[in-house]
Amino acid sequence: MRKYIILLTTILFAFSGCGQSSEQIADTAFSTVKVFGLEFDFGVPAVRNGEDIKAKEEPYGLLAYVSRISEFDRLPDGIGDYAMSKEIHAEIISSKNPCDVLKSQTDFDMGELHLPFYMNEPFLCSSERRDGVILISIVGRGFPFESLPYVDGGMLIVRPDDVVILSGMIKDDQLAKINSKYRDELLAEYPDVDFPTAEWNELSDKMEAEIADLVNDSDQSLVDALAYIENVSKGTRLD
């Protein structure tokens, strides 16, 4: 009888331990999203849905848009199609400060460099080199498609054969703080503004100037947004 009790206790303990282990493994797996041979951990359960990475428990909670440059020296052919020349790619790979390479691209030429962020406008940037791969975190003016200027943030993972791009990475609460500083008040001054009109252009110019000031002053809300992206970058697995 005693042997039976000991055996039963051992079995129950084993099943209990397995249950906890499986749950922990599942939580970790859900937080990690695999994209183009990379694993991103956003700190919350996440899933990939086509070109989007979303919070698993919030179907509309966007964590990032995903795209990739796999062929250099190719002109982009539509919205969301990005480009980088072989020359700029090589400069980034070899540079001690890849952010300086990006900030030197002041001439707007989509054939040379076309990303979700304006490279010819001020932006915050940091980078790290790991195992021959460069991870660049960016917060600045997003590339508009007939929309008013806005702040966007994301990552470039620059590898020898391609560049993986994540954009739309500023969290909702951070974005609300940023928007309140350049967007909300100005929109109130221009109710029901239509594109394209002189009024729309005037509002766009004002927003562009405000965003540039926020970046140039290293506004804390933008610094916090960059820190979040850097944190995701640090947790990114390269293989």
| Amino acid of residue 40 | F
Instruction: For residue 140, list its beta bridge partners.
Output: 123, 152
In a domain, residue 99? The reply is yes
Q: Using the structure block, give the residue that is written with the tokens 């956003």.
A: 42
**Residue 229: pLDDT band with limits 50, 70, 90:** very high
| 27 vs 137 pLDDT, higher one | 137
In the predicted structure, residue 121 carries a pLDDT above the cut 60: yes
pLDDT tens, position by position, 50-69 = 889 998 877 668 999 999 99
In a domain, residue 227? The reply is yes
Compute the distance between CA of residue 186 and CA of residue 159 in angstroms, rounded to an integer.
Answer: 40
The answer to whether residues 130 and 153 touch, using CB atoms and an 8 Å cutoff, is no
Q: What is the mean pLDDT of residues 198-219?
A: 95
Residue-level pLDDT at 100 = 95
pTM, 2 dp: 0.84
* Residue range of the domain that includes 137: 67-234
Handedness of CA 40, 53, 64, 167 (dihedral sign): positive
Averaged pLDDT score across all residues of the chain? 84
| Residue 55, H or E segment | strand 52-55
**Residue 239: pLDDT band with limits 50, 70, 90:** confident
Residue-level pLDDT at 150 = 96
Nearest residue to 141 (alpha-carbon basis) of 157, 128, 159, 125? 125
| 9 vs 94 pLDDT, higher one | 94
Residue-level pLDDT at 60 = 64
In the predicted structure, residue 92 carries a pLDDT above the cut 70: yes
pLDDT tens, position by position, 17-54 = 333 322 222 334 446 799 999 999 998 888 888 889 99
In a domain, residue 179? The reply is yes
CB-CB neighbours of 38 under 10 Å: 19
Residue-level pLDDT at 59 = 61
Retrieve residue 77's tokens.
């052919």
In a domain, residue 111? The reply is yes
Retrieve residue 230's tokens.
């850097």
Number of independent structural domains in the chain: 1
